[in-house]
Amino acid sequence: MIGGMADRPYHHGHLRAALLAEAERTLREEGIDALSLRDLARQTGVSHAAPRRHFADRQALLDALAEAGFAWLGDEVRAAVNGASGDYQARLRAAATAYVRFATADAALLQLMFTVKNASQPGVLPEASASLFGAVSDLIGQGQRADALPPGDPGRLRLLLVATLQGIAALVISGRVPAEQTDALVADAVALFTRSHN
């Protein structure tokens, strides 16, 4: 045997996780068009048909990526809220900033999360996004109890807040908002929600 590299055993052992990690990197660095199952198999050192065991088709892989993305974004938003000091508006701004930062750092992933033709397993993605929506729900509840947000159906207010953050992210990603204006726009959005309530 020349070269001395230990041969990978016939069974990879962590193929599913390896594929997901490699896919996330490719998605972030090169965009969704560069994401091919064959290429992923090549970079992971298995045959082109091996991924089939773990992902029924390309869409199943994309769904899994979106699912992981929701969990991750939910964690980021929660961490930003918990780590922020200051009044309610400051905490809301921290959460909003974390959201938009995630969106610009991993634009293709965010887009994947908010498109979803038809999840292979119906109900999986709504469940995954519940983590994010739950974090925002907590934040809404706090704001309404502190009279820092307008009263009314918290569910609709939550949707409206997520929509606004999502929309800002979309504008930044598409280049219609220059990167320097991002923070100001986020601050404007937060001010709009907390207007005459601080």
Partner DNA sequence: ACCTGAACACCGTTCAAGT
- Check binding of 111 to its own copies (CB under 8 A): yes
- Check binding of 192 to its own copies (CB under 8 A): yes
Kindly state the smallest distance separating residue 35's Cβ from DNA, in Å: 7
Q: Residue 13 corresponds to which amino acid?
A: G
Binding mask 153-172 for its own copies (x = CB under 8 A): ---xx-xx-xxxxxxx-xx-
Kindly state the smallest distance separating residue 164's Cβ from DNA, in Å: 34
Total number of residues that touch its own copies (CB under 8 A): 37
> Given candidates 39, 75, 138, 183, which one binds DNA under the rule CB under 7 A?
39
User: Which residues within the stretch 52-111 sit at the binding site for DNA (CB under 7 A)?
Assistant: 52-54, 57-59
CB of 165 closer than 8 Å to CB of 99: yes
Q: Which value, to the nearest 10 degrees, does the dihedral of the CA atoms of residues 13, 14, 19, 22 take?
A: -120
DSSP string, 117-145: S--SSTTHHHHHHHHHHHHHHHHHHHHHH
- Cβ neighbors of 104 (< 8 A, separation 6 or more) are 169, 172, 173, 179, 182
CB of 39 closer than 8 Å to CB of 96: no
CB of 60 closer than 8 Å to CB of 118: no
- Check binding of 89 to its own copies (CB under 8 A): no
- Check binding of 175 to its own copies (CB under 8 A): yes
User: Residue holding tokens 């965009």?
Assistant: 31
Residues of this chain that bind DNA (CB under 7 A) = 10-13, 15, 35-39, 41, 46-50, 52-54, 57-59
Binding interface with its own copies (CB under 8 A): 31, 33, 111, 114-117, 126, 129, 150, 156-157, 159-160, 162-168, 170-171, 173-177, 181, 184-185, 188-189, 192-193, 195-196
